[in-house]
Amino acid sequence: MKSSLHGCKRKADQLDRKVRSEEEYPVAKFIWQFLSWNKNHPNEEVLGLVRKLKERIKEITLKRIEQNYSMGTKLEDMATTELWVLESLFLKTTDDCQYPRVISRLYWLVFERELDKNIETFEKWGKRRKRCELFYEKMSFYAGKTKAFLIPRSVHEKSRKLKRDYEKK
């Protein structure tokens, strides 16, 4: 366990040095996964470093998305890690001032795609498939919006449908 802790800390420290030295740090799948796997690390020092790194990488990636993509971008044209970073956001409305319009648009496309996948999986497996609590929290929030015009109509309707399905089966 101790060697595992030191290995994790050493890897996080190396990554921290790289990210600090490169403004345009390219995010590889394994790096985002490493940070995601360690988001609840039992060691406070490692946990703090992992959270800081994940936020910094998210910041760099969102900046790159804003610079490289337009309102007409299709999700198929984006890198997997860029999609993962978009999935990690939680926008409250379509005109969330916290993010530029292109990020907002791509976020809603990513979330709707995730909704479609979850609806399909639920129809196939029902409650036998373990649900992702973070996704369920977002979906419930969007389903409960009383002013549905603040989010894309399709996201609101699909969220309501999936939430109803989860609650009745």
**Looking at beta carbons, which pairs linking 13-20 to residues 24 or more positions away fall under 8 Å?**
13/49, 15/53, 16/49, 16/52, 16/53, 19/53, 19/56, 19/57, 19/60
**Residue extents of the structural domains in the chain:** 1-71, 89-169
At residue 45 the predicted structure's pLDDT band, cuts being 50, 70 and 90, is confident
Checking if the pLDDT of 2 tops 50, the result is: no
Q: Please, is 35 exposed, middle or buried when counting C-beta atoms within 10 Å of its C-beta (0-12, 13-18, 19+)?
A: buried
**Looking at beta carbons, which pairs linking 138-147 to residues 24 or more positions away fall under 8 Å?**
138/90, 138/111, 139/115, 139/163, 141/90, 141/92, 142/111
At residue 1 the predicted structure's pLDDT band, cuts being 50, 70 and 90, is very low
| Sign of the CA dihedral running 77, 68, 81, 83 | negative
User: What's residue 159's pLDDT?
Assistant: 94
List, for residues 47-101, the tens digit of each pLDDT value: 788 788 888 888 888 998 999 999 999 999 998 889 989 999 999 988 888 999 9
Coil, helix or strand for 144?
coil
Quick count: other Cβ atoms within 10 Å of Cβ 125?
10
User: What's residue 29's pLDDT?
Assistant: 63
User: What's residue 6's pLDDT?
Assistant: 59
Q: What is the mean pLDDT of residues 6-20?
A: 63
- Is the whole-model pTM more than 0.85? no
